[in-house]
Structure 1
């Protein structure tokens, strides 16, 4: 029988009872999962403004960080854009640690105990996700799926830079296997009937999702069991989970975003009543903006949304991104590019960066900063694999500048106040932090590869204050570890990463 420490033990024991055939594969994946999470944590320690790290210095073979209590933390050079698991151990005052949870416990920093528990769960869940991968075949870089949900299932490791890349607190092993997209399940959504008079509806609710005077609201089975305390009510709706887990693809095409009041990675992301109310106006506004990109960007339309009194019972229907792929083309999330061999070509990566930056900066000039990370941003590939267009989904967290819109004669009635800002720093943080330090960096895989791609791409960009900031200033990125260690701070916290275009 295999034995595993801490969260690894719990998941290993549950797995032994449920899927004994996966236990040995799970055990083999644990060292690599620890290294993957430790690499993400080391990046955060080196590059985020953590108050208990007072300084750092490069040494011949790596980096030494000085802690406020006088201790020293040493490890390899910290590439902020690396996605390979290159950190296998770091030393705290000479003692080596290969486990990110044990390292965090030893650091003994405020709120570190809870974070250490999350890291342990992230390691164990990541090993579980990797253990379930099919060998070769469908996951081979040269084998391209046909269905949109198949692309999403190929993204096994989660967020490329967050130490909590696979942390799913509140999910048992059985639930991870039943609902996690990387495990390739079919999820049976429950259809909960709610009187129309009790619902806030935006857009057009699907005709087939009505029962007389009641709406049938799709409910994720985890939400039904753990939050609504209801199970087995109404007919089911079979669907395939996408990268976000709460959003699923239906067999006939549309995607449905369900309420799932669980914290995945960093925060609980419900479908708020406010986002339901604004969904139709946001969707219409996005089509106006997309029309100004010369056909290089499409935004999936929100078909209908409803909330029954709270964020715990809500759903949103959205077009599938494949709506915007012509015959012979494929559309896939940018995060899934790493599962192909396309980014290995410097020319391909430069072409993709040119397309993404041209569209992103054009919209920013007009007044809209997309949250264009690897999950929200999709790329349409020609039959030969060339990037030809972009598709964007999920408008809930964009930022909009009324002043910039007005300069271009664009009106935007009905947009929620929380997404409105004219602050150029806030706008650039949203776009650059998600697209440049997120989607493009995650696709390139290292600072060197990212620099080579961008050096070519930025030469073709129209000059503007935003483009100059991209070329000349440090890049903003969410301080994801600082955020997890700051439970009293409700919003985003940020760091500034080295700009590879300024480093030679």
Structure 2
């Protein structure tokens, strides 16, 4: 298979040849496009993030040249940090062309390159596999089907399809873009940490039956006794599934998907319902513009690899003639509209989303409102009416702001609490703009136009002033994979051009 150029590409191809031969040719055909898509995401990070081994960046008519601290030069096309759907055919490192992101990263003499190169290799191969999934041709028949339509994952992250530890067969069996039905397992746990009314259907006397993802069952909990569980449909987050009856379950998957290991800490189990109550009470001040999906119950065995959270479905918040869709899928939903109508609807959504997130931030809650966590209630004409937010595990709560606005101090401790304005704005605005508004706009000029129109009439808080006058915070996704931990970049604010 000479078309395969790396270890991950060859391994995945060999497995398909054995297990799913009908997918081998579509997978091989998808590889060049997947390489170019991941390389574009990597180039975005190299051009715009504060990488310590990039000495300087020079833009010219033929693109951008990075001078590295080891003296070499890396050259490529201009990079719009807010562009989506872009591809880069190749980059030149001291004149040598590199068209595969993993091979380029391996050639860079930088700390962490070997691990990250392996991630880029896996991301590229898995993206090609995701693109073999047949694209839906009809509108979703059930609300959660919106979450199974896009094959490409995070629009800016070079690890957009990084799923280390998942074989090709497992990706086909569990990943939402392949639209499988997943058979969960149940782990009997006596003396489990329970928060909220754990359902009778997930009990055996005094023993809690904790839902377990089948990947976790095979790779992490193989020595435990597990029972057959309910059938469920995987959502955008893969380890979160729709159980029907307006109920979603978030399971532990001890694998690094995109950037983070997706298990559930004892801290999250302990504080799930308290966090839900605090966020919902604050959201009530917004006059119905935001619904926070309630955490119904949580259970854990004391370790992050065996825990689950039950929460209500966001799709229950659709009224007559309305539908709820994840913001990550809003570009696809709006695609059939004319350019003018599409821009009008994007601006309307941005005005609603920025108003809600800034008002909530002023009250003391910073949402992580990216395209997975944030959903929008649309009327029959595709106009945004309300927002729905799910997954409170990584929000931030400011006790000082809550108290200032007449709320009691939250009965919480630990990482969810933060009074630092910079950290709160990074969480609320960085996630909303980088994870929702940027991908929806699709490029810097459109994003600037949208932000200018959407913020024009909002209340002039200090947080809005920062948004309108400072560079935009964004997670430094490439730097994070090389060094670990949260890292931030300051990206050019397209509002400056839109304001003239």
Q: TM-score, normalised by structure 2?
A: 0.96
In the other structure, the counterpart of 1:437 is 434
Query: Counterparts of 1:16 and 1:399 in 2: how far apart (Å)?
Result: 46
Query: Counterparts of 2:365 and 2:310 in 1: how far apart (Å)?
Result: 23
In the other structure, the counterpart of 2:50 is 49
Q: Secondary structure at the match of 1:292?
A: helix
Once the two structures are TM-superposed, the CA of residue 3 in structure 1 deviates from its matched residue by 4.5
Query: Counterparts of 2:19 and 2:252 in 1: how far apart (Å)?
Result: 27
In the other structure, the counterpart of 1:425 is 422
Cα contact 1:400–1:421 (8 A) shared by 2: yes
Indicate yes or no: 2:165 matched with 1:165: no
Query: Counterparts of 1:350 and 1:251 in 2: how far apart (Å)?
Result: 33
In the other structure, the counterpart of 1:5 is 5
In the other structure, the counterpart of 1:72 is 73
Cα contact 2:15–2:168 (8 A) shared by 1: yes
In the other structure, the counterpart of 2:143 is 148
Query: Counterparts of 2:326 and 2:413 in 1: how far apart (Å)?
Result: 27
Query: Counterparts of 1:11 and 1:149 in 2: how far apart (Å)?
Result: 29
Cα contact 1:302–1:316 (8 A) shared by 2: yes
Cα contact 1:351–1:457 (8 A) shared by 2: yes
Once the two structures are TM-superposed, the CA of residue 232 in structure 1 deviates from its matched residue by 7.4
Query: Counterparts of 2:168 and 2:228 in 1: how far apart (Å)?
Result: 26
Indicate yes or no: 2:20 matched with 1:19: yes
What does 1:333-412 align with in structure 2 at a 5 Å threshold?
Answer: 333-342=326-335, 344=339, 345-412=342-409
Which of 268, 272, 281 is residue 265 of structure 2 equivalent to? 272
Distance change (3 Å), C-alpha of 1:2 and 1:383 = farther
In the other structure, the counterpart of 2:247 is 254
Once the two structures are TM-superposed, the CA of residue 2 in structure 1 deviates from its matched residue by 6.4
Once the two structures are TM-superposed, the CA of residue 327 in structure 1 deviates from its matched residue by 2.3
Query: Counterparts of 2:274 and 2:211 in 1: how far apart (Å)?
Result: 22
What does 1:287-366 align with in structure 2 at a 5 Å threshold?
Answer: 287-342=280-335, 344=339, 345-366=342-363
In the other structure, the counterpart of 1:212 is 205
Indicate yes or no: 2:276 matched with 1:283: yes
Cα contact 1:274–1:416 (8 A) shared by 2: no
Cα contact 1:22–1:131 (8 A) shared by 2: yes
Corresponding pairs, count = 493
Cα contact 1:227–1:312 (8 A) shared by 2: yes
In the other structure, the counterpart of 1:103 is 104
In the other structure, the counterpart of 2:185 is 190
1:360-418 CA distance string (max 9 Å, x none)? 00001101110001110011111221111100001111111111111110114322321
Moved more, 152-161 or 337-346: 337-346
Q: Secondary structure at the match of 1:11?
A: helix
5+ residue gaps in structure 1? none
Query: Counterparts of 1:401 and 1:387 in 2: how far apart (Å)?
Result: 28
Q: TM-score, normalised by structure 1?
A: 0.95
Which of 488, 491, 494 is residue 488 of structure 2 equivalent to? 494
Query: Counterparts of 2:197 and 2:2 in 1: how far apart (Å)?
Result: 53
Query: Counterparts of 2:366 and 2:209 in 1: how far apart (Å)?
Result: 34
Cα contact 1:296–1:389 (8 A) shared by 2: yes
Root mean square deviation of aligned Cα: 1.4
Cα contact 2:84–2:443 (8 A) shared by 1: yes
In the other structure, the counterpart of 2:171 is 176
Cα contact 2:85–2:155 (8 A) shared by 1: no
Cα contact 1:3–1:12 (8 A) shared by 2: no
5+ residue gaps in structure 2? none
